[in-house]
Structure 1
Amino acid sequence: MRHLIAIAALSLIAACGFQPVYSSGFNEGRAGNITVEKIDGRAGYELRRTLLQELAIGLPNVSEPATLSVKLSESLSRLTFETDGAATRSSIVSSGSYVLNYGGKRLSGRQEAEISFSVPDSPYGDIANQTGASTRAARQLGKKIADDIRLKLSAD
C-alpha cells in the first residue's frame, strides 16, 4: 500500500511540471541563453562547470542564444629540484582558446592560468597535489575566460 501511495505521489509531482528550486539547467550544458560545449577530461569538466556558473547571469549585449566552445590544454613543469634530482616544486599551466558564437557574430580569445604546488615525498601525494592544482587552474581559467568575454562584449 505504501508503495502505491509513493508511486502516485511521484507521478503527480512529475505531471505538474515540478522542477527543483535550485535547478539551474547545468546538466544540459546551458547557463541561461548560453550553451557551453563539452570539454574533454577531468579538467575540462571543471572548466565547463565554472564557465556555466560564471555565465549564468548572462553576458552584456547578448540577448540571443549563444554557444561557447573552448579548447583546453594543460602542461606540467617541475620548477625546483633537490640535490638528488627529486622535484620539490611544480607548476600546472592551463591554456584555453575560446570561440563565442552569438547572433551571427563571433568572438574569440585565449587565456591562461598557472598554479604552482609543493611536491611531497610520496608519489601518491604528488598525484593528489597535481590533481588539486589542475582543478584550481581550470577554475581560475574559467573565471578569466568569462571576465575576458564580458570585457570584450561591454566594449562593443
Structure 2
Amino acid sequence: MRVLLASLTLLLTACGFQPMYAPVDGANAIGPVQIAEIEGRAGHVLRTELTRILAAENDGSPPANLQVTLTEVVTPLGIRIDESATRSELRLTANYILTPAQAGARVMRGSVSTVVNYDIPRAAFGEITAQDDARERAAESMAQRFRAELALRIAQARQG
C-alpha cells in the first residue's frame, strides 16, 4: 500500500500538479489581508466572516488591502392569487479590488456572487426576518467563495 501511495505521489509531481492552497515554498496561499469597511448589514457579516477566515493567513508580513462593494438584488419568485410573493431570491454581488502590499505588484479586480432563496411567511414582519436571515446566509457563503477566489487568483499570479 505504501509503495502504491509513493508511486502515485511521484506521478502527480511529475505531471506538474501543484496544490492551490499550499504553495511550493510553504508560504500562505493568500497572505495577510486588511479588509476595508463594507457598507450594509450583509457587508458587516461578509467582513466579519472574511476576517475570521483569512486570520489563518496572517504571517506578520505587510497586508494586502481588500476593498469590496456589495450589490443586493431581491427578486420575488412565487406569486399568490393576491399577487403577493411566496418566495424570493436574494442575489449578492461583490466587486473587489485587492491591492498587494508590495510596490509594483499587480492589482487584482474581480467579482464574486451568490444567490440564496427564502420563503416569505404570512406573518406581519416575517418577510423582514426571512430576508435578514437570507442576507446573513448569503454573506457567510460569499466569504467562503471569496477565500477560494483569492487563493486561485493569487496562485495564478504566482505562476504567470
Q: Encode CA deviations 1:36-60: one digit per residue, 9 max, x unaligned.
A: 000111111001011111211228x
The code of the aligned residue for 1:51 comes to L
Q: Encode CA deviations 1:87-106: one digit per residue, 9 max, x unaligned.
A: 11101100001111111321
Counterpart Cα distance in 2 of 1:144 and 1:65: 20
CA positional deviation for 1:144: 1.0
Q: Where does 1:97-116 land on structure 2 (aligned, <5 Å)?
A: 97-102=95-100, 103-104=102-103, 105=105, 106-116=107-117
Counterpart Cα distance in 1 of 2:123 and 2:84: 11
Counterpart Cα distance in 2 of 1:115 and 1:71: 18
Structure 1 spans left out of the alignment, 5+ residues: 1-31
Q: Encode CA deviations 1:52-86: one digit per residue, 9 max, x unaligned.
A: 11211228xxx542111100111111011011112
Is the deviation greater in 126-135 or in 97-106?
97-106
Asked if the contact 2:94–2:111 (Cα under 8 Å) also holds between the matched residues in 1, the reply is yes
Alignment partner, residue 53 of structure 1: 52
Counterpart Cα distance in 2 of 1:78 and 1:33: 39
Asked if the contact 1:110–1:145 (Cα under 8 Å) also holds between the matched residues in 2, the reply is no
What is the TM-score normalised by the length of structure 1?
A: 0.73
Alignment partner, residue 92 of structure 1: 90
The code of the aligned residue for 1:52 comes to T
The code of the aligned residue for 2:40 comes to G
Alignment partner, residue 6 of structure 2: none
Identity over the aligned pairs, expressed in percent?
Answer: 30
Alignment partner, residue 14 of structure 2: none
Structure 1 runs, 4 residues or longer, greater than 4 Å off: none
Aligned to 1:56, the other structure's residue is in SS state: helix
Aligned to 2:125, the other structure's residue is in SS state: helix
CA positional deviation for 1:145: 1.4
Counterpart Cα distance in 1 of 2:39 and 2:137: 17
Counterpart Cα distance in 1 of 2:155 and 2:57: 12
Structure 2 spans left out of the alignment, 5+ residues: 1-30
Q: Where does 1:1-156 land on structure 2 (aligned, <5 Å)?
A: 33-58=32-57, 63-102=61-100, 103-104=102-103, 105=105, 106-155=107-156, 156=158
Aligned to 1:57, the other structure's residue is in SS state: helix
Q: What RMSD, in angstroms, separates the aligned Cα atoms of the two structures?
A: 2.0
CA positional deviation for 1:33: 3.2
Counterpart Cα distance in 1 of 2:98 and 2:124: 40
The code of the aligned residue for 1:152 comes to R
Asked if the contact 1:72–1:95 (Cα under 8 Å) also holds between the matched residues in 2, the reply is yes
Normalized per residue, the structure richer in strand is: 1
